[in-house]
Amino acid sequence: MIDLPTVSYRNCDGLSRRDHLRIGSLGLFGLSLPAALRAADETRKAGGEEKKTSCILLWLSGGISQIDSFDPKPDAPVEIRGEFKTIPTTTPGIHFIEHLPRLARLTKRFTLIRSMTHNQGTHGLADQLVTSGYAPTPSGVGIRYPSQGSVVSWVTGYLNGVPPYVYVGDISGPDGFRKRDALNAGVLGAQYNPLEIGDKANDPGFRVKDVTPPAGVDMERMNSRREMLRLLDRVSVARTQTSRRSARLTATIRRPTLS
């Protein structure tokens, strides 16, 4: 766990409200998430409030360098600082690169953290650490901890048929299996995995995992498969009925005759 040492408004016990803020997996998404969600739900019910909240997590696994975005280090030596010019933001003392003017005007509306680090050797392993709050274990060994999206899925469930946890993007490449571990439900079970939608590498077009037919399978072929499934179901039902009739007949024949 990582404490965020901050100073802000203080309550009557002498602790800053933000002193209680800890980073477990991602911001507030730690092991206390289920309890926090349940408590919030109980509070809403008690007050008659039924407000629903959604969250979009933009995850740039292996994204742009910090010196080329939010931490250009303009006062560092030339061999360290970024190559772009910097611009001031609405927060005194914080500068972004020149290509982020709109974000620079919005710094009062989001939190910038420049102190996170990890000891993992690949993006996929680091993803697991940050999205679950636990260091990953070797493949096939130990517990697979759930991602924050899977925890939300476990707590809230579907809302009017809308999946509670959706992943848009491509889980592939050398770290593909690690990224999947980072996004999935682990010990909670596959039913809490994200619904995967979006483009796949070298396979253009919008796709939904386990819903969009694979390449080369058109509607005619799908209908043929449905018809085959229907015939197999009829055969299965007929065999079950025959077995039951045979069992009843055998029981009748073996029943002792009363004299």
Q: How far is CA 225 from the centre of its chain?
A: 33
**Contact yes or no for 205/199 (Cβ under 8 A):** yes
pLDDT at 101: 95
- pLDDT of 158-177, one tens digit each? 888 888 998 887 665 555 55
pTM summary value: 0.55
- pLDDT score of 38 more than 70: no
Handedness of CA 205, 208, 213, 214 (dihedral sign): positive
Residue-wise pLDDT tens digits, 40-87: 666 666 665 566 778 888 877 667 888 999 999 888 898 888 889 999
What the block records as the tokens of 146 is 């759930």
Q: Check residues 97 and 129 and name the one with the higher pLDDT.
A: 97
Alpha helices in the chain (DSSP H): 33-47, 101-104, 123-132, 148-156, 176-183, 219-254
Tell me which H or E stretch contains 197: strand 195-200
Kindly list the domain boundaries of the chain, sorted by start residue.
Answer: 55-70+112-208, 218-259
